[in-house]
Structure 1
């Protein structure tokens, strides 16, 4: 019953997207001194989110039909290069920009958790539990 609620799935996908974005940002910071490294980012959630259709078959186990295809909204194919000025060694990482992007990714993750928690509270109230 609860796995069919699209709000839970959307909150989960937003949290996964924020985690993938935080990972790419961490790679950018780690390569801030690497000559020729270009700063990367994950495409926005609104561009990459494709909700599953309820009438569509879906894999429930790793060996199940078509489970090899990535269904996460934040896959490597969604990584894009961020525009910006480069340093003399060709590196385009700006630590200030990375800090702002990390805060934005944290905000998205916190929002996903808040939506999940709020929806769970509503469900508990509807069932008469506290």
Structure 2
């Protein structure tokens, strides 16, 4: 039971780190919105990056899980969007991405908070 909870917490931490890395990419894209020739960058989604399978069979014990100890995040360049200065940044798209990143980060924090409350309750510490 505890190994599954620890795995969920590790994934929540990975999701929070992924959201932070995504926020850095969005900020750099927005900072260079008027830079001629700048190519916007995007990161792969967290679920796609870790290869999380669709609903189906799940591992029954930790030795079956092939999760990395540390997640590595990389951004890839996007193609141009037809701007005359060859800049591929869309401010509207970046703002939408920033909102999605915020949701991911909030979800990771909610998971961590929920497990913290669960452990406190299990230990008899309700505060």
Q: Structure 2-normalised TM-score?
A: 0.78
Quote how far apart the aligned CAs of 1:72 are.
2.4
Residue-by-residue CA offset, 1:35-93 (whole Å, 9 max, x unaligned): 11111111110121269x945xxxxxxxxxxxxxx93242x3xx122356131010010
Tell me which residue corresponds to 2:9. Answer: 8
C-alpha distance in 1, partners of 2:116/2:51? 23
Structure 1 residues without counterparts, runs of 5 or longer? 56-69
Tell me which residue corresponds to 2:25. Answer: 24
Q: Is the 8 A contact 1:16 1:73 kept in 2?
A: no
How many positions carry a matched residue from both structures?
114
SS, match of residue 82 in structure 2: coil
The reply on whether 1:122 has 2:118 as its aligned counterpart is yes
Query: How much is the aligned-residue C-alpha RMSD, in angstroms?
Result: 2.6
Tell me which residue corresponds to 1:71. Answer: 70
1:100-119 correspondence runs (5 A): 100-119=96-115
SS, match of residue 37 in structure 1: coil
Tell me which residue corresponds to 2:34. Answer: 33
Q: Is the 8 A contact 1:42 1:80 kept in 2?
A: yes
Q: Per the alignment, do residues 111 and 84 of structure 1 end up closer, same or farther by CA in structure 2, a change over 3 Å counting? A: farther
Q: Is the 8 A contact 2:16 2:105 kept in 1?
A: yes
Moved beyond 4 Å, runs of 4+: none
1:72-91 correspondence runs (5 A): 72-74=71-73, 76=74, 79-83=75-79, 85-91=81-87
Q: Per the alignment, do residues 6 and 88 of structure 1 end up closer, same or farther by CA in structure 2, a change over 3 Å counting? A: same
Tell me which residue corresponds to 1:98. Answer: 94
Comparing 36-45 and 9-18, the one that deviates more: 36-45
SS, match of residue 84 in structure 2: coil
